[in-house]
Structure 1
Amino acid sequence: MYQKMETELTLKPVKSEQNAPILLKQESVVFPSRSTPKIVAKSPFIEANTEEVSLSHLKEDCIIPVFTKDNEITISHQEFIEAAYASILKVFPNEVVDKPEIRTSHLIRGRTPDALHVPAKELTEHQRTMYYERMAFIFRIPSITANINGNLLALTVGGVRAYNTENLYNKKSFEKFKFFIGFQNMVCCNMCISTDGYKDEIKVMSTSDLIIRMSNVLENYLPDQHLKDMQDLQNYHLSESQFAQIIGKSRLYNYLPKKEKLILPELLMNDGHISTIAKDYYNDESFCRQENGDINLWNMFNLFTGANKSSYIDTFLSRGVNAFDFSKGISKALSYSNSNYAWFLS
């Protein structure tokens, strides 16, 4: 189902003397400028309120938060990214890995003690401090690709870190990370994530533990099954009236009484996402309706993942997985009227 394009890996992992999990020495993390075959991303994998930053910016310009009661340092954004890279090299030692694409949001500003009484407009660069509360990143592996409905998909690994989920006002405790492996649709740069390739919460105390946990996710992921499930979505079609029914019921879903909502499958898209999906049903260049109004579920899935790019970093991955589960559920409802997803079509 997926193709391996034979290319030579530029970077090699460095093992510790104690046979610990693979770690990368600080000076060895130099990513290739662009791998072969060349895959160019046309847009960011997430938009919302994020901005793109470089790994060097995180290392050189940002402070690292601490747990205030014992002044123990947190695992920084850059350490998370480098640990993910080490995990990729451990599980995919013969593949090409692109430089990371890093997106951040919720900038936290501060100042050094000597600038306590300096007006903000008069602060010098050395008196300013900053870090990002939320960060998401992806690594593309362009030597492993697939094609669905004429769309090139590249295997992709990534993660999310949100400091707002940590109790930084206490002593150091387990830190939480989100991590995934899936495919990126290079037509639109949407992320395609399945349940078995996603870990909603990894709790660790060190980067060594983090590498072990991330490696387990990579090793347990079933790319063939994920690709087959996505390929199967092409075989199911919705009429314009069926699609309109899904849009309408999706709007109603968020306002259902709690008891009724509990017996239905979960849908994490909000009204803003649903409006975007409805608009793109008519206007999206790659995944819009056919001339007769029909749309296959592969295209509908991509309308959902496209709308998800407007999600905030901390909800982006869970909504991406939910978009995949929802699309599979609708395919079942088209085949079996007793499926609990049939409510969205009734």
Structure 2
Amino acid sequence: MHINSSFTESNSENRSTNFGEDRQVSPVPVFLNYIEDPGLHESSNIIHKSPFIEANTEEVSLFHLKEKCVIPVFTKDNEITLSHQEFIETALSAIGKMFPNENLDTPEIRVSHQIKGRTPDALHIAAKDLEEHQRTSYFERMAFIIRVPGITETINGNKLSLTIGGVRSYNLENLYNKKTYEKFKFFIGFQNMVCCNLCVNTDGFQSEIRAMSYLDLEDKMLQVIQGYNANQHLNTMKNLLEYSLSERDFAQIIGKARLYNYLPKKEKALLPELLLNDGHINTVAKDYYQDESFCRNANGDISIWEFYNLLTGSNKTSYVDTFLERGVNAFNFSEGVSNALSDSSTNYSWFLS
């Protein structure tokens, strides 16, 4: 098994080393019940001040998922689903195989849509009188990230850390039927440590992985990681610094983005996809003036890199099940706008006209 992506690692002495030339990875057995300390260490405090997604989510630990949550089954054959904790532990195993010499941050896990239940002996007990051991619950939707803090790059003074993660939504499964392939979303990209925004592009994202077992799931995760070209992703993000929006350009984009969702279908089909809604666009407009790290300069100009980070910042208010798709779309949109600044023939120029 090889990885052909090249990453940049900066250690505590500020030395930079390129590595990743077709590295041979030794097979590592997967023992999910015993992944207690897979080279993990606690994240720095700055991470917990700003979660990678907000919306209606709450933070939980891997221990909470393993010890406090029941696992849904497919009702027609009572076959167990691949649980949230198995998804995360399988990702840890895959990352360990691809980056065997790297320490990993403790997974940051966000959940939403809690499904509550009770044990059979509590069938006739009033809800207010339930004991803790009589309550059951699981979370319908879950997103997680795992940072590889030893693999970093800096863009415009912003430290980016290699980050891998995924999303699981039980609402995408037909749990009332027999067990079949289960669906997962998985990505590899970078996290901007200034704002904790995720930077994900198309090559590092798989919107639907179908798997029957955690071994099948791990194999497909490895394929995503191997297919990701980190250098290309980083270079594209660096290129965003070469283009800037004037205040007029920015206002034009905001106005056209507000119009976009109301266009007739035939006209909309001719334009690039924009997945951010009015709420996101309002946040971008507000942060153009107020964001501490990515607001306009004294002349009202803003670089496309800063514009991109305003988009990813607004994406934190997306629900778990649309979060990654919108993050990828924010990257594509920013790159498209930068191209439109020098080429009026591109269909992204509609947003600037």
TM bin, normalised by shorter chain, reads over 0.9
**Aligned-partner Cα distance in 1 for 2:45–2:124:** 50
Pairing 1:4–2:9 present: yes
Q: Are 1:204 and 2:211 counterparts? A: yes
Partners of 1:34 and 1:90 lie apart in 2 by 17
Distance in 2, matches of 1:213 and 1:304, equals: 29
2:68 counterpart of 1:81: no
Alignment pair present for 1:217 and 2:252: no
1:264 paired with 2:271, answer: yes
Aligned length: 334
Question: Over residues 163-196 of structure 1, what are the superposed CA-to-partner deviations in whole Å (9 max), with x where a residue is unaligned?
Answer: 0000000000000000000000000000000000
Q: Give the alignment's TM-score, normalised by structure 2.
A: 0.92
Partners of 2:11 and 2:182 lie apart in 1 by: 37
Structure 2: how far apart are the matches of 1:120 and 1:39?
A: 37
CA deviations on 1:258-283 (whole Å, 9 max, x unpaired) are: 11111100000000000000000000
Distance in 2 (alpha carbons) for counterparts of 1:35 and 1:52: 15
> Paired residue for 1:288, among 295, 299, 304?
295
Give the counterpart letter for 2:94 in structure 1. Answer: S
- For residues 45 and 154 of structure 2, the distance between their equivalents in structure 1, rounded to whole angstroms, comes to 14
Correspondence for 1:276: 283
**Aligned pair partner of 1:34 in 36, 41, 51:** 41
Q: Secondary structure at the match of 1:309?
A: helix
Distance 2:70 2:42 in 1: 31
Say whether the 8 Å CA contact 1:21–1:211 is kept in structure 2.
no
Give the residue type in structure 2 aligned to 1:302: N
Q: Tell me if structure 2 keeps the 8 A contact 1:204–1:210.
A: yes
Rounded Cα–Cα distance in structure 2 between residues aligned with 1:2 and 1:39: 25
CA drift at 1:117 = 1.2
TM-score under structure 1 length normalisation: 0.93
Residue 334 of structure 2 is aligned to residue 333 of structure 1? no
The aligned residue for residue 10 of structure 1 is none
Over the matched positions of the two proteins, sequence identity in percent amounts to: 64
Letter in 2 for 1:4: E
Stretches of 4+ moved more than 2 A in 1?
19-22, 27-36
Once residues 153 and 27 of structure 2 are traced to their aligned partners in structure 1, the CA distance between those partners, rounded to angstroms, is 34
Q: Find 2:255's aligned residue among 248, 251, 266.
A: 248
Q: Give CA-to-partner distance per residue, 1:33-83, whole Å, 9 cap, x none.
A: 6369x6841410000000000000000000000000000000000000000
> Does the aligned pair in 2 maintain the 1:22–1:87 contact within 8 Å?
no
Q: Which residue identity lines up with residue 202 of structure 1 in the other structure?
A: I
Task: Give 1:113 deviation, angstroms.
Answer: 1.3
Q: Superposed, which structure 2 residues align to 1:35-114 within 5 Å? A: 40-41=46-47, 42-114=49-121
Matched letter for residue 62 of structure 1: C
